[in-house]
Homo-oligomer: A and B are copies of this chain.
Amino acid sequence: MLLIRLSPRQKEIIKIVKEKQPITSEQLAGKLSVTRAALRPDLAILTMTGILEARPKVGYIYSQKPSNSIVYDYIRNIKAKDIMSKPVVMEEETKVYDAIIYLFLNDVGTLFIENKGYLVGAVSRKDFLKIAMGGTDMNQVPVGVIMTRMPNIICVEAEDSAYIVAKKIIEHEVDSLPVVEKIMEGNKELYKIIGKISKTNITRLFVKLGDDV
């Protein structure tokens, strides 16, 4: 995997092509006051990456679909299912104290709460700390009382891109998102949790991107 940053001249070429398309390499060379030979490598990069399209006998045009080329958005092509972890789940009757113990034993930041096999809520370390501060008897209160409840949980699906997942994590200011499968039961939509993606998964993926280069 390689990351390329366009040079100022390549950016300038794109700008000119956008304005004047179709435009020949000769016309481009004239506008930039360079020889056609000097432009050749830049035009090679820009067509190979699919940014520009070279139409025989017409000239260069700006392409709207770089995905057809060897360049594509790697980040947008990694799927949630490729980077998700096993979710840690509990029942909503579990007492807060036991849930916190379970959180520590599994070394996660968020517990997902199920009822009859379907996602009904989520509780984060932050929620637990708030409760612990408040003097609540944690041995009495079930986790279902303090959790964030559906439909107020942001979910993603297995085929969503890592990019979409990361964007949702940032926009909704959460640490972790459940990866779910939607199931219709009558006219009711239910969610089966099949994984979770946290900022840790995204950070790990980021490191992997750097490793790959």
Q: Which residues of A contact B (CB under 8 A)?
A: 1-7, 10, 40-41, 44-45, 47-49, 51, 66, 70-76, 97, 100, 104, 125-126, 128-130, 132-133, 138, 162-163, 166-167, 169-170, 198-200, 202-207, 209-210, 213
Contacts and interface: CB of A to CB of B under 8 A. Distances in A.
B75 A213 contact: yes
Contacts of A3: 1-4, 71-75
A7 B2 CA distance: 12
A39 to B, nearest CB: 12
Identical copies of this chain, number: 2
Minimum-distance CB pairs A-B, first 5: A132-B132, A199-B199, A44-B44, A163-B210, A3-B74
Secondary structure at the A interface, as helix, strand, loop or mixed, is helix
Contact of A203 (B10, B128, B169): B169
Contact of A71 (B2, B133, B170): B2
Nearest to A204: B170
A206 B202 contact: yes
A7 B73 contact: no
Nearest to A73: B213
B6 A166 contact: no
Given A6-B2, A203-B166, A209-B75, A44 B48 contact: yes
Interface centre among A71, A74, A206 (most CB of B within 10 A): A206
A163 to B, nearest CB: 4
Contact of A70 (B5, B100, B209): B5
Contacts of A169: 203
A66 B5 CA distance: 13
Given A41-B44, A125-B126, A170-B207, 14 more contacts: A1-B4, A2-B49, A5-B72, A41-B47, A44-B44, A44-B48, A45-B48, A75-B213, A129-B132, A133-B138, A163-B206, A170-B200, A202-B206, A206-B206
A126 B5 CA distance: 40
